[in-house]
Amino acid sequence: MDEQATKRVRYLARFILLWAAAVVFRLVQLQIVRHEDFREQAVQQQEKVVEIRAPRGEILDRLGQRLAMSVPVDSVCVNPLQISDAAVASDILANILHLDASELRDRILMAAADHRGFMWVKRKISPEESESLRSLNLDWVEFRTESKRFYPNKSLAAHVIGGVDSEENGNAGIEQSLNDTLEGHAGELRVETDVKQRGYDSAIENAAQPGQNVKLTIDSRIQYIAEIELEKAVKEHHCHTGSLVAMNPKTGEILAMANYPTFDPNEPVDTGADLSPRTNLAVSTPFEPGSCFKVITLTAALETTRLRPETIIPCGNGSITIFGRTIHDHGRYPALPMEDVLARSSNIGAINVGMKVGNSNMYEYIRRFGFGKSTGVMLPGESAGVLHKLKNWQPGSIGSIAMGHEIMVTSIQLAQACSIVANGGFYVKPRIVADSQQPAPVRVLKPETAITMRQMMEGVVIKPWGTGKRARIPGYTSGGKTGTAQIVDLKTHTYTHFYNASFMGFAPVNNPAIVVVTTVHGATGEAGYGGTASAPVFREVAAAALRMMDVPKDRLDDGPPVDDRTVDANDLAIAGLTAPPTIDVPDEQAPAPAAAAEGQSLAPELPNEVVGPTVPNFRGMTMRAVVEQSAALGIPVEFKGKGLARAQRPAPGGILPPGERVRVQFAR
């Protein structure tokens, strides 16, 4: 071969080799040396991390109705550096979002001057504002999804539910105490996107953990009635505040907890605003219970002494001086049966009973009833009340405490104590969260003591001289105790002319289904006593609750409630006041009423002749036909089974006694 040609081929080969080497070198540099750099750039371009929303748990009432819920809403933000004309931008945004245009413009300009690329315009806007702004398709406006807490029923059970701050952290009520349970933890989703930012693949980086729902024992229907009646009582009697607790005495479930004044948790808290309406008075604010505490005194007497309801207690003809203090009763009673000490709310009688009980027994039973310690209900800020240790009691303390002074309790503690009497002597811990772990009830009273005390408390309501006549519920037996305690001025350490007017009671008497404790604070004058101001609230709330709880009536309806304007001055338990006008007591010398047999109500007896509608023949009828016919005749019917009516009791043609219902058995 030609040498020159060979030489040319060799040069060509070397050139090709060099070129190949350069290509390989570049490949190695790009794919191995700078692999990580390019991979990170690719990830930045192609992948984005999206937050997986984890909504806060809902708060429900016992029937599953939502009391609090979180809803995703839009928040508006802008990049100030991308806004060419701040004035125009602020005008547009302010018009739609209802903001101050000049203030917004200043904020945008300030943010741009600070070279900030992000600025919130308005957070958590309404759906209408969001739709209006989105329709403008402004590319310099960005929407971020956030969660906003809503309370659909506004102020209903506001003190129980509480509220959240702007970051949805609970700051009051159940929202605060169960914040860890309700709180959700957002997750992260890694999404791979194409050149048009459309996602085509995703993987969960962190799984979202939605908050758990919390179900309360509150019944929103009873709660509504309670709030309406409490507000009415506070306004009618020109009081400052009020609180109410309604509870199931057997299970401890709190069916309603109302306070007045109230607030709407949907409204944000203004800086410097008065926060007192947001205080849950029922658990946080103790007060002197006054005559309501005589129930504890007499219960302790039944348990630790030989005193019985019919035992005559000296009442000093209306006045007694003890340990340097003079105590008055409104009436001049020389002596009263112990049951009437309660019904007439005799302070002197209560003091004498208390002194019989003694300091240590009294203290023990106060503790048994749960006073002096918090109930443990899952609400923040609960007060344990004030109960001086036994060693700190003064010689006259037994007298004061027997009347419900020198001790401070909360409404929920009173409800708990009343429940012990109502449920037959068991200490049941109040609870507001359904399905929460509850300790087993502990017996603290003998069953016979509880039954006897129930009968005595019924006397407060049904006896003509009872202070709680206004607590009579049409169709139901009820029992309770009124209380009117003067409010102490802590600055001057003297009693004022403002009262805490209370009523604690239960219904029905033989098998109590509900306990209601009502207190209005700041009542004045004769119309501000417990029997006048608080007993009607008990009546209305208990009547509504018993109807909703489907509790059968156990008493003949005896017409509209008693509208007795007689001053219930018996409840007033403070010495040193100008003695109120005496009231004639025509039954002063009357013998004490016969002791009722155990379990027997003191309600009026039914007439011997049974009067009632004639029971029709339902046999062979469908359930719907039975409903229609019984509704037309006004006959209550209890249904069992499905299909056609096969048997009934009472038999057709019989008389249906009052308070009874026809039981119809259905079968296919």
Partner 1 sequence: MATLAQILDRITLPRSADRVAQEYEREDHEMFRLRMFPNEHVYFYVKKIDNSKVVRESDPKTRRLCWRVFGASCATAIFVSGLFVPAVYSLLAGYKVEALRQQKQVLERERATLDLEETKMLSPARLEELARMQQFVDPTPQRVIYLDGKPEGTFAKR
Which positions are catalytic? 291
Distance CA 182, CA 163 (A): 12
Site string for partner 1, 550-589 (x = CB under 8 A): xxxx------------------------------------
Contacts of residue 110, Cβ cutoff 8 Å, sequence gap at least 6: none
CB 539 → partner 1: shortest distance, Å?
15
**One of 124, 187, 224, 580 touching partner 1 (CB under 8 A):** 224
**Looking at 136-144, 190-198, 242-250, 323-331, which segment touches partner 1 (CB under 8 A)?**
190-198
Pick out residues in 588-627 that bind partner 1 (CB under 8 A). Answer: 623-624, 627
- Whether the CB-CB separation of 299 and 453 falls below 8 Å is answered with yes
- Whether the CB-CB separation of 535 and 449 falls below 8 Å is answered with no
**Looking at 87-95, 219-227, 400-408, 524-532, which segment touches partner 1 (CB under 8 A)?**
219-227
Q: Give the CA distances from residue 655 to residues 579, 627, 632, 658, 662, in Å, rounded to whole numbers and listed in that order.
A: 56, 19, 17, 9, 10
Q: Report which residue type is found at 656.
A: L
Nearer residue to partner 1 within complex by CB, 157 or 414: 157
Q: Give the CA distances from residue 42 to residues 35, 193, 204, in Å, rounded to whole numbers and listed in that order.
A: 10, 11, 19
Pick out residues in 64-123 that bind partner 1 (CB under 8 A). Answer: 65-66, 69-72
Q: Tell the residue number behind the tokens 């609870």, with chain if given.
A: 431
CB 229 → partner 1: shortest distance, Å?
13
CB 173 → partner 1: shortest distance, Å?
18
CB 276 → partner 1: shortest distance, Å?
24
Element (H, E) at 9: helix 3-28
Counts of helices then strands in the chain (DSSP H, E): 20, 26
- Whether the CB-CB separation of 482 and 293 falls below 8 Å is answered with no
Question: What SS3 class is residue 349?
Answer: helix
Other residues' Cβ atoms within 10 Å of the Cβ of residue 655: 14
221 touches partner 1 by CB under 8 A = yes
510 touches partner 1 by CB under 8 A = no
253 touches partner 1 by CB under 8 A = no
> Torsions phi, psi of 235, nearest 5?
-75, -40
Nearer residue to partner 1 within complex by CB, 367 or 661: 661
**Looking at 63-71, 94-102, 302-310, 645-653, which segment touches partner 1 (CB under 8 A)?**
63-71
Site string for partner 1, 449-478 (x = CB under 8 A): ------------------------------
CB 558 → partner 1: shortest distance, Å?
16
**One of 638, 643, 649, 657 touching partner 1 (CB under 8 A):** 638
Pick out residues in 358-387 that bind partner 1 (CB under 8 A). Answer: none
49 touches partner 1 by CB under 8 A = no
Angle of helix 86-97 relative to helix 101-113, nearest 10 degrees, comes to 130
Other residues' Cβ atoms within 10 Å of the Cβ of residue 305: 14
CB 506 → partner 1: shortest distance, Å?
17
Nearer residue to partner 1 within complex by CB, 67 or 453: 67
Contacts of residue 280, Cβ cutoff 8 Å, sequence gap at least 6: 159, 160, 173, 257, 259, 379, 381
Distance CA 374, CA 365 (A): 16
CB 269 → partner 1: shortest distance, Å?
22
Angle of helix 294-304 relative to helix 347-357, nearest 10 degrees, comes to 40
CB 329 → partner 1: shortest distance, Å?
40
240 touches partner 1 by CB under 8 A = no
Question: What SS3 class is residue 236?
Answer: helix
Site string for partner 1, 143-172 (x = CB under 8 A): --x----x-xxx-x----------------
355 touches partner 1 by CB under 8 A = no
Distance CA 373, CA 383 (A): 8
**One of 202, 213, 510, 566 touching partner 1 (CB under 8 A):** 202
**One of 353, 444, 509, 637 touching partner 1 (CB under 8 A):** 637
Gyration radius from the chain CA atoms: 37
127 touches partner 1 by CB under 8 A = yes
CB 199 → partner 1: shortest distance, Å?
4
**Looking at 87-95, 218-226, 397-405, 646-654, which segment touches partner 1 (CB under 8 A)?**
218-226
548 touches partner 1 by CB under 8 A = yes
**What string of DSSP letters covers 404-447?**
T-SEEB-HHHHHHHHHHHHTTSEE---BSBTT---PPPEE-S-H
CB 328 → partner 1: shortest distance, Å?
43
CA-wise closest residue to 407 among 324, 300, 291? 291
Q: Report which residue type is found at 615.
A: V
Q: Give the CA distances from residue 392 to residues 36, 388, 389, 595, in Å, rounded to whole numbers and listed in that order.
A: 77, 6, 5, 38
Size of site (CB under 8 A) for partner 1:
46
200 touches partner 1 by CB under 8 A = yes
**Looking at 26-34, 131-139, 168-176, 213-221, which segment touches partner 1 (CB under 8 A)?**
213-221
55 touches partner 1 by CB under 8 A = yes
Residues making contact with partner 1 (CB under 8 A): 53, 55, 62-63, 65-66, 69-72, 127, 145, 150, 152-154, 156, 191-192, 198-202, 219-221, 223-224, 544, 546-553, 623-624, 627, 636-639, 661
